Structure 1
Amino acid sequence: MFTGLVEGIGTVISTEPDGPGIVLSISPQSGMDDLESVEIGDSISINGCCLTVIQNDGESLWFQAGSETLSKTNLGEFEVGTSVNLERSLRPTDRMGGHFVQGHIDGTGIIEAIETEGEWVNMWFRVPQQLTGQMVEKGSVAVDGISLTLVNVESERFSIALIPHTLEVTTLGRRRVGDRVNIETDIVGKYMEKMLTGAVK
């Protein structure tokens, strides 16, 4: 479980095929400097996707991502030098500043528009209607692992307003129109949809 409050940004050092999946090596560049505290088996959110640490060489963390993960996320697009958002899993004593983020990506979206208002940015995302059906205006959504408040929700797109701090400490400040991002809707919305519709996937 995560909060969606990004701890830092990391850089992809290597990505290698591993059967139907890949092995990733990521070096934290800011906010997660204490790698000695990261143990094998720990869960780390990478662009919102929960992955397990399989190796820690003191400079980089190593992860495996399977075919299911690659089909639902943007991890398969990673290249050497790609910047990613990082967050360690939530501890019982941590403050809950964002919202409950599972690290289970529901799908991806495409950045459709970036509108600048001074130092602020309004960003629009095009997503499948299945995902917007689990969103409400002023509710929560995780985009590349970042807990954000929904401003507008339409049939197949939604918008968020980004403050300068978020743009500075996450990868969203480096994103461009056409980029693909990971989307996780609020778990509360999923349960409500299930109760109201009785839908079984």
Structure 2
Amino acid sequence: MFTGIIEALGTIESMVDRGDAIRLKVSAGKLDMSDVALGDSIATNGVCLTVVDYSPNHYSADVSAETIRLTGFAQYKPGMQVNLEKAMQANSRFGGHIVSGHVDGVGTISKVITHSDYIEFWVKAPDELAKYIAHKGSITVDGVSLTVNKVNGSEFMLWIIPHTLQETVMRHYQVGTRVNLEVDVIARYLERLMLGDKAAEPQKQSDISLAFLAENGYLKR
């Protein structure tokens, strides 16, 4: 489990093809590796990866073909910077929101507007994730816990202050950049809960619809 508060910027050193996976080696930058052990989890651009090798200044992890397919890793190359966060401890300060490190989809930066004291980013999310993205709700973008400032269909807007830009890979974002998205896990559980007894039935797609909400008293007719 993570909080979405980035601890360091790392750099991809190598990506070695291992057939059904890629062995990723990351320079850890200023990330404190003194308490890292084999099997620990490190969120890498929002993707929870298991440490299979490490030193005081780097770690390696295996990235499966499925993870590559479902995240931005398909476009990653050696030399690219990545956001890093170690798994949270039970006694840690909870500064962001609940982040699992399981990416829900890949979005695309659709607009970048520079203001005097912040940058405005618009992100186009996959259509199937739009229902989980709410105004003033939480979302994780490349592992960064952020507040959604505006929503327009499947696009959402973020206001990013200079400190966040300096400490994350968001400073490299431009129109067309692909980003890992993880929606708020509470929205996922709420969707499932609202199915009630129907949750036990096999479902090819979500039964949550305006008609379902109306029939169950969540909307006024």
- Return the TM-score normalized by structure 1: 0.95
Partner SS for 2:145: strand
Please say if 1:187 is aligned against 2:185: yes
* Shift in Å, 1:19: 1.5
Paired letter, 2:141: V
Residue in structure 2 matched with residue 163 of structure 1 by the alignment: 161
User: In the alignment, what sits opposite 2:25?
Assistant: 25
Q: 3-state SS of the aligned residue for 2:102?
A: coil
Structure 1 residue 130: Cα displacement:
1.3
Superposition RMSD on alpha carbons, in Å?
1.3
Work out the CA distance in 2 between the residues paired with 1:128 and 1:24. Answer: 26
Q: Is contact 1:132–1:154 with CA below 8 Å preserved after alignment?
A: no
Match of 1:125 in 2: 123
Structure 1 residue 59 corresponds to structure 2 residue 57: yes
Q: Distance in 2 between matches of 1:124 and 1:194?
A: 28
Give the corresponding residue for 2:151: 153
* Contact 1:141–1:183 (Cα < 8 Å) also in 2: yes
- Identity over the aligned pairs, expressed in percent? 37
Q: Counterparts of 1:1-201 in structure 2 under 5 Å?
A: 1-30=1-30, 32=31, 34-196=32-194, 200=203
SS class of match (2:166)? helix
CA distance in 2 between counterparts of 1:195 and 1:153 reads 24
Instruction: Give a deviation string over 1:27-72, Cα, whole Å, max 9, x none.
Output: 0223x1x323211111000000000000013331000010111111
Higher strand share: 1
3-state SS of the aligned residue for 1:65? strand
Q: Which amino acid aligns with 1:146?
A: V
Looking at structure 2, the residues matched to 191 and 153 of structure 1 have their Cα atoms a distance apart, in angstroms, of 21
Letter of the aligned partner of 2:14 in structure 1? S
Whose RCO is larger (CA < 8 A, sep 6+)? 1
Check whether the contact 1:53–1:61 (CA below 8 A) recurs between aligned residues.
yes
C-alpha separation between the residues in 1 aligned to 2:57 and 2:190?
Answer: 43
Structure with greater Cα Rg: 2
Q: Greater shift after overlay, 128-137 or 191-200?
A: 191-200
SS at match of 2:148: strand
Instruction: Give the Cα–Cα distance (whole angstroms) in 1 for the partners of residues 3 and 9 of structure 2.
Output: 16
Number of equivalences: 199
Using the alignment, how far apart are the partners of 1:160 and 1:24 within structure 2? 30
Post-superposition offset of 1:77: 1.6
